[in-house]
Amino acid sequence: MENFLKYYLPLFLLAYLLITFVLPSIRVYRQTGINPVTFGKSDNAHDYIGGVMKLLTGLLVIAVLFFSFSERAYQYLVPINYLQDTWIKYTGLILVHASLIWIVIAQYHMKQSWRIGVDEKNKTELITTGFFSLSRNPIFLGMILSTVGIFLIIPNAITFFTMATTYIIIQIQIRLEEEHLVKQHGTIYTAYKQRVRRLI
């Protein structure tokens, strides 16, 4: 299984990033003329979080590449040996694939309202149906589960750090987005908050 993962995992991660970030960004831009990536380079909290998310994504890519192409380099990531179990890896594989499908469906439900970050320039439709009737942030939920899955497949200090930090950063980003949505949608969003949980 280890040899299979060394080939499969980098291909899966590439496909994951294309399917969940690149292709939806292109789709929204073509349909609306609006760049859905709203993170900039200023020093405010929103853009700082965007920078941290890029860093975390980079760390995941590095962890996967080290695992796949250099056993010696991978040892520097401090593998957690007692979690090196086939069934744990299978659980991680199920989780990353299920979360990918979940994210794709949630993005489909969002349609043209999908954004990466807070879009203060363009008003977006408040989506409350589909997966958004189960979770106010199904895409973020999928991202968190994805990092848990990667950690279970290749448990080491970096994937653990990425998993834990991603959860914290997403929780902060969710709260920034909630403040924005209350301003944009008022009582409609407040009622939605009372009806549906933040994650699950």
Q: What is the mean pLDDT of each run of 10 residues along the chain (200 residues)?
A: 92 97 94 91 89 96 96 95 94 98 96 89 91 96 98 98 98 95 94 94
Q: Is the residue at 33 inside a domain?
A: yes
Instruction: Tokens 């290749």: give the residue.
Output: 154
Q: Is the residue at 172 inside a domain?
A: yes
pLDDT at 52: 95
Report the sign of the C-alpha dihedral through residues 142, 148, 154, 158, in that order: positive
pLDDT at 186: 94
Q: Is the residue at 181 inside a domain?
A: yes
pLDDT at 188: 94
Q: Is the residue at 200 inside a domain?
A: no
Q: Is the residue at 130 inside a domain?
A: yes
Q: Is the residue at 66 inside a domain?
A: yes
Q: Is the residue at 128 inside a domain?
A: yes
Report the alpha-carbon distance of residue 10 to residue 67 in Å, rounded.
9
Strand pairing partners for 116? 37
Residue-number span of the structural domain to which 110 is assigned: 2-195
Instruction: Tokens 């899966």: give the residue.
Output: 12
Report the alpha-carbon distance of residue 189 to residue 174 in Å, rounded.
14
- Give the CATH number for residue 111: 1.20.120.1630
Q: Is the residue at 76 inside a domain?
A: yes
| Angle at alpha carbon of residue 27, lines to 29 and 115, rounded to 5° | 65
Number of structural domains the chain divides into: 1
Report the alpha-carbon distance of residue 193 to residue 178 in Å, rounded.
9
